[in-house]
Amino acid sequence: MEQHYAFIKNNRVKNIAVFASQDEELADRVAQEQGYDDAVWVGTNIPTMWSTYDGTAFTKPTDEYLISIGIKDLPVTE
């Protein structure tokens, strides 16, 4: 069964990768080589991209944050 790792930079999910199995050594090596702060095994409980990570739990990103990084557009007002 596929296993997922969330790659963390500055307490944010910056990337999610699929591995054939849980492999902490490989995930840590990828994190180091790619400049991430950490690789967190999440199994099949995949967090939302850009979520915050407090060392224990993932919190979905706010609309304000997504707008600030250009992922989401400002609401249209008339």
Can you give the pLDDT of all 78 residues of the chain as single tens digits?
889 999 999 999 999 999 999 999 999 999 999 999 999 999 999 999 999 999 999 999 999 999 999 999 877 777
pLDDT at 10: 97
pLDDT at 74: 79
CB 60 within 8 A of CB 71: no
CB 72 within 8 A of CB 66: yes
Q: Residue 54 belongs to what domain range?
A: 3-68
31: helix, strand or coil: helix
Does 77 map to a domain? no
CB 44 within 8 A of CB 1: yes
Element at 27 (helix H, strand E):
helix 24-34
pLDDT at 55: 96
Give the predicted TM-score (pTM) of the model: 0.89
Tokens 């050594």 -> residue: 25
Does 73 map to a domain? no
Does 52 map to a domain? yes
Q: What is the DSSP secondary structure assignment for residue 28, as one 8-state letter?
A: H
